[in-house]
Amino acid sequence: MSQQPLPQRPQVPPHQQPAPSWPIHPALVTAGLEIPGFKIAYAMGIVRGLTVRAASAAANVAATFKSIAGGQVTSMIYVCEQARATAFSNMVQEAAQLGANAIISFRYDATELSPGLTEVLAYGTAVWADPEGQ
């Protein structure tokens, strides 16, 4: 069975291009299977970003006291948000390296590897999405 070549990617108008520091516009990353106003031209495959984080000793002490007293553990929220941001950025970079301009079916997953050590995975399907009507 012969493989069909992938369609040529059209040039994205400058007003639709992401900022130079962000290879894929955040609006083109979705948990859904489609992007409103766009047609998925082709899928490039699964992309993922991974990070493993450990909270500092100070954050662990603060979390212990908060677990007794109750309330939000802001030091741990910061660690979690940083881990998610790093995993997300790594996933977007991988998609951009494949030549994608969007990611669909985006998800996060987290696994505790050992007490205080957590793996955070961001994953989705890298795609080329054409604006509808073009």
What separation in angstroms does the CA of 126 have from each of 24, 30, 72, 79? 10, 11, 35, 27
Section 77-84 average pLDDT: 85
Helix (H) or strand (E) holding 97: helix 74-98
pTM, rounded to two decimals: 0.73
Predicted pLDDT at 100: 95
What separation in angstroms does the CA of 30 have from each of 4, 52, 125? 27, 23, 10
Instruction: Specify the CATH number of the domain 23-54+86-131.
Output: 3.30.110.70
Q: To the nearest whole percent, how much of the chain has pLDDT over 90?
A: 49
> CA end-to-end span of the chain, whole Å?
31
Task: Pick the more confident residue, 75 or 86.
Answer: 86
Closest CA to 103 of 21, 4, 22: 22
26 contacts: CB under 8 Å, gap ≥ 6: 18
Task: Pick the more confident residue, 50 or 4.
Answer: 50
Q: Indicate the domain borders of the chain.
A: 23-54+86-131
32 contacts: CB under 8 Å, gap ≥ 6: 104, 105
What's the pLDDT tens digit per position in 94-116? 999 999 999 999 999 999 888 87
Section 63-75 average pLDDT: 64
Q: Which of 6-10, 76-80, 82-86, 95-99 has the lowest mean pLDDT?
A: 6-10
